[in-house]
């Protein structure tokens, strides 16, 4: 594989949130964290474009709590 091919490959498969390489099991994201963040953004109705700010693990855990609480309310 040449350099151009590698670059093209990477371009095709970057995380929709943070531009890291996608993981097969979390497409189109790189990790469960980005997948969860994106899901939370859509569900809370204020989807934003990716910012340079990377949420901490604690924020992701809060989001998990938030989502499970929301599930229980329905």
Binding site for Zn ion (CB under 5 A): 15, 17-18, 20, 30, 34
* Shortest distance, position 15 Cβ to Zn ion, whole Å: 3
With respect to Zn ion, which residue has the nearer C-beta, 11 or 71? 11
With respect to Zn ion, which residue has the nearer C-beta, 2 or 26? 26
Measured distance CA(42)–CA(36) in Å, rounded? 10
* Shortest distance, position 58 Cβ to Zn ion, whole Å: 17
Measured distance CA(28)–CA(31) in Å, rounded? 9
Measured distance CA(3)–CA(67) in Å, rounded? 42
């Amino acid at each position: 594989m040449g350099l151009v091919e590698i670059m093209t490959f990477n371009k095709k498969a970057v995380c929709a949130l943070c531009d890291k390489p996608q993981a097969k099991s979390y497409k189109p994201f790189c990790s469960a964290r980005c997948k969860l963040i994106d899901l939370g953004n859509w569900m809370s109705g204020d989807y934003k474009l990716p910012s340079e700010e990377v949420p901490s693990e604690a924020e992701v855990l809060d989001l998990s709590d938030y989502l499970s609480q929301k599930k229980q309310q329905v």
